[in-house]
Amino acid sequence: MDTVALAVTEGMLHFELSLAQEVFGAAPDGVAGPWYRVAVCGPGVVRVGRFLLEVDHGLDRLPHADTVIVPGWADVEVDPPADLVDAVRAAHEAGARVASLCTGAFVLAAAGLLDGRRATTHWAHTRALAERHPRVTVDPDVLYVDEGSVLTSAGKAAAMDLCLHLVRLDRGSSVANAVARRLVVPPHRDGGQAQFVTTPVPAPGNHPLAELLPWVLERLDQPLTVEDLARRARMSSRHLGRHFRSVTGTTPLQWLLVQRIRRAQELLETTDDSVEAVAAATGMGTATTLRRHFNRTVGVSPDTYRRTFRARSRPGAPEGLALP
C-alpha cells in the first residue's frame, strides 16, 4: 500500500485534504524504510475552499494507486461530478483500497461502492446519505467503518482516526503511534466509538484527565482499578466516569482495556516476548486472559497477529490482516 492518491475536484473541503496530506505525506522521525508516495489528482487547477490547488495528476491516475482517499464533499445536496465518481469507481475495480473522509462518503455512494455495505459519514448528514442511497447501511453512531477495500469515516477528527487506522494496518501500531505523536493527536480511537463526544481530541493539559491518562499509560503492567484511578485523580468514581465519558467517549475500564490491547499489539510486533510475558507487561495477568480479550477486540489471536505482521515484513510477503 505504497501509493496514496488524494482525489480532489471543485467543491472539496480543504481540512480533510490537508489532514490526509499530513498523515501520508511524510514519515515521522525514526521510522526507517520507504514511506507512502502521495499524488494529488484532479482536473487541473482546483478551488478547494478558499484556496486554489495545482494538482499533480489527472483523475485518470486514480486506478494506478494502491489507496485512494476522497476528502469531504462540501455540498451534499449536489451530486458529485461524474468524472470524479467514475474515476473512484474505476480505481476500486482496479484493486485500489478506497477511503472517504467525512462527506466524501457521498462520492463513494454515488460510485456504487457502498451498496450492500456498512458506512458512515458526519452525523449531520447520515440521514441524507441513507435516504439518497437506500442500499447503503448507514451507521450514524461510529467514528469510522472498515469494510476491507472500502472505508468511510465521520467528520473532522474521525477522519484523522481513519487515516491513522490505515497506517496501522499498513505499517503497524508503533508506526501509527509515531505519526500520532508527530501530529499531537491520540494514537487510537476505535471505529466503534460514538461520534458525538464532547471533547473528541483532548488537548494536553486542557481537560480534567490531562495528568491521569499519561500516569495510567506508564503503569499498564499494574492491576489498576477504577478506584485506583479515582484516587489518583482526586475525585469520586462517579465523577471519574463522567469525565472519562466526556474526554474519551467511553468508560474508564473500557479505555484501560483498549490501551492494554494496543500495548500488546506493539510488543507482539516489535519483540520476541512470549504471549505470557506480553500478558504480564500489559496487566492482563495470564496468557489466557490476554488471548480472550485480544481475540475479542482485534479479531485474531495474539499468535496469529504476530505471525501476520512478521510475515508481512518479509519482501514479497502478502499484506497483513485487515483488523477492525
Rounded-to-integer distance, Cα 278 and Cα 306, Å: 12
Mean pLDDT within 281-297 = 92
Digit-coded pLDDT (tens) for 126-164:
999 999 999 999 998 788 999 999 999 998 788 998 999
CA 87 to chain CA mean position, Å:
24
Give me the chain's average pLDDT, please: 85
What is the predicted pLDDT for the residue at 309? 66
- Residue type at position 204: P
Rounded-to-integer distance, Cα 264 and Cα 277, Å: 10
Digit-coded pLDDT (tens) for 86-138:
999 999 999 999 999 999 999 999 999 999 999 999 988 999 999 999 999 99
DSSP E strands: which ranges in the chain?
3-7, 37-41, 45-48, 51-54, 67-70, 97-100, 118-119, 137-138, 144-146, 150-153
- Please indicate whether residue 292 or residue 308 has the higher confidence score (pLDDT): 292
Point out the residues that are catalytic: 102
- Say whether pLDDT at 209 is over 90: no
Residues pairing with 119 in the sheet: 138
H-helix or E-strand containing 131? Answer: helix 126-132
Mean pLDDT within 50-69 = 90
Whether 209 and 233 have beta carbons less than 8 Å apart is answered as: yes
pTM, entire model: 0.64
Band (240; pLDDT cuts 50, 70, 90) = very high
Digit-coded pLDDT (tens) for 4-49:
999 998 888 888 888 999 999 988 888 877 899 999 999 877 877 7
